[in-house]
């Protein structure tokens, strides 16, 4: 049976990715920092879809935990067919006011962890001649938005390159760039619902974002931008002056 590993799987887009993959019949390995939350997700997926759910508690900012997850991703005995690098979070945009160690941790989770997990996954997937990697980025990758936009831009650019290089060998790599999605992401930033300053038409539903992302990944696309409105924004933003896009990027989460 196909197995998928999802990081940041305890809530939000990660839990939705796990649910939709389980609905397709995949066993899932759920990775996040909180065991109780993971066990709740696992029990729900097992009950609803009858799949096997493995809980792997790990903080991807900690080297030992990251090695543990990389070893699971690269297992030849229990192969992972689909890797979803979803774990991530945001920081206040005032880089100069943020603790530099907090910024460095953010960089490790957003870029170093996906890099190491992709490397581990590719070793096993290329041997088998098939596999799929989905990297959750953001529409922020297309605009200057402090370090958050920068780390997401790295994910997009590396995914585009990797998809070209590894698709002929049976492994696709897709960067998913959602806009504002109704999840608990804003709560983790300390923003109460309704106080993000974002128009309602810009919000997306998590289930539709994940469904489109998985369709695009199945088609072998390098970049998936869920919804027509965000596809249009991704084309428009690089054409605007930095002072305008940086100002727009100050809004919301």
Residues with active-site annotation: 148
CA distance 28 to 3: 6
Report residue 245 as tokens.
Answer: 């896009």
The DSSP symbol for 178 reads -
CB atoms within 10 A of CB 91: 17
Place of tokens 């990660």: 14
Phi, psi of 227 (to 5 degrees): 85, 145
The DSSP symbol for 195 reads -
CA distance 123 to 105: 26
CA distance 27 to 29: 7
The DSSP symbol for 139 reads G
Listing DSSP states for 51-107 in one string gives --EEEEE--TTSHHHHHHHHHHHT-SSS--SEEEE-------S-GGGS-HHHHHHHH
Q: How many CA atoms lie within 13 A of 82 on its CB side?
A: 26
């Amino acid at each position: 049976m196909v197995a998928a590993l999802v990081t940041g799987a305890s809530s939000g887009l990660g839990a939705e990715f796990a649910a939709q993959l389980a609905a397709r019949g995949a066993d899932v390995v759920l990775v996040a920092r909180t065991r109780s939350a993971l066990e709740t997700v696992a029990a729900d997926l097992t009950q609803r879809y009858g799949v096997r759910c493995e809980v792997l508690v790990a903080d991807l900012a900690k080297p030992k935990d990251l090695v543990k997850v990389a070893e699971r991703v690269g297992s030849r005995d229990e192969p992972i067919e689909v890797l979803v690098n979803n774990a991530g979070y945001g920081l206040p945009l005032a880089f100069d006011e943020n603790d530099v160690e907090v910024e460095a941790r953010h960089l490790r989770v957003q870029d170093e962890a996906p890099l190491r997990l992709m490397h581990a996954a590719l070793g096993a997937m290329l041997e088998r001649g098939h596999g799929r990697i989905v990297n959750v980025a953001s529409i922020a990758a297309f605009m200057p938005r402090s370090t958050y936009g920068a780390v997401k831009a790295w994910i997009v650019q590396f995914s585009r390159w990797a998809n070209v290089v590894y698709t002929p060998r049976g492994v696709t790599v897709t960067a998913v760039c959602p806009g504002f999605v109704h999840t608990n992401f804003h709560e983790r930033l300390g923003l109460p619902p309704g106080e993000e300053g974002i128009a309602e038409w810009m919000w997306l539903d998590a289930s539709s974002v994940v469904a489109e992302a998985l369709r695009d990944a199945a088609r072998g696309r390098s970049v998936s931008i869920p919804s027509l409105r965000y596809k249009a924004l991704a084309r428009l933003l690089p054409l605007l002056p930095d002072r305008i896009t940086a100002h727009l990027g100050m809004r919301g989460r």
